Amino acid sequence: MTKVWSICLFLFFYCYISVTIIAQPKDITTNKDSSNTNNNNKKYFVKLPANETQPNSEELMKEAIVHFDAARYSTCLKTLNKAVEVNVFPQLTDILFFYRAVCLTKTKDFAKAISDYNAAISANPDKHKYIYHRGIAYFQLGDYIKAQEDFEKTMALQGPDADLYLKLGFIKEYRNKTEDSITDYSKAIELNPKLAEAYYYRGIQYLRVLQHEKACKDLTKAIKLGFSGAEKQYENYCGAK
């Protein structure tokens, strides 16, 4: 009996130990090299580049306008140069060239400004504002014939305008076309009877063709409208006011 009991006790402990060994969890402290496994996992997690987006041409254009308004023309130009370089928006092409041209005129670089006005006009030929400003740049360079052509083109696109007739009067005056300049100043006055400059410059041209009475009348009108310098010319040529 004792022998049988011993055998049963032995079998009980044998089964218990076997089950315990089988059920034991895997040893996580094993020295097995797992580097290959880690490397295989890494390929599924590609490192993304840092989010360092560059400003686009529209953002740069807005920044340039801020610099322009603050009279920081050098910085304005650098910003617009970058905007032109990175621009991918066709609808901004003419605008960027136009803004850069306007900024160039502020630095007195009229030749480069005209080049940019040409690019703007090429991209948008019907934008009369571009042609008008190019005319001003030509005038500043002393190219009065091209300036006149641009002002006349602008007039054809937008219709009669007192300011344009005034500028055409200036050009014809510079070109010694006195009668033509008087005609343009008169048209400017018809469109804007309070345009003091037109009275003044027409008065000066009347003096050149010896129409003294008309000259003094125009100078008087210019004085009443507050044009600086008209009173002195009146005193010189028409007597004390």
Residues 151 and 61 in one domain: yes
CA dist 163 → 55, 92, 135, 183 (Å): 39, 28, 13, 14
- Tell me which of 114, 140, 159 is where a domain ends: 159
Residues 111 and 121 in one domain: yes
Average pLDDT over residues 80-105: 97
- Tell me which of 115, 142, 159 is where a domain ends: 159
Residues 70 and 122 in one domain: yes
pLDDT digits (tens, 9 = 90+) for 143-196: 999 999 999 999 999 999 999 999 999 999 999 999 999 999 999 999 999 999
Structure tokens at 127: 């934008």
CA dist 107 → 73, 115, 145, 190, 192 (Å): 7, 15, 23, 35, 32
Compute CA 157 distance to the chain's CA centroid, rounded to the nearest angstrom: 23
Domain range enclosing 208: 160-241
Residues 61 and 150 in one domain: yes
The model carries a pTM of 0.75
pLDDT at 225 over 50: yes
- Whether residue 18 is contained in a domain is answered as no
pLDDT at 40 over 90: no
- Tell me which of 129, 159, 189 is where a domain ends: 159
Residues 60 and 154 in one domain: yes
pLDDT digits (tens, 9 = 90+) for 104-131: 999 999 999 999 999 999 999 989 999 9
Separation between Cα atoms, residue 127 and residue 134, nearest integer Å: 12
Residues 62 and 145 in one domain: yes
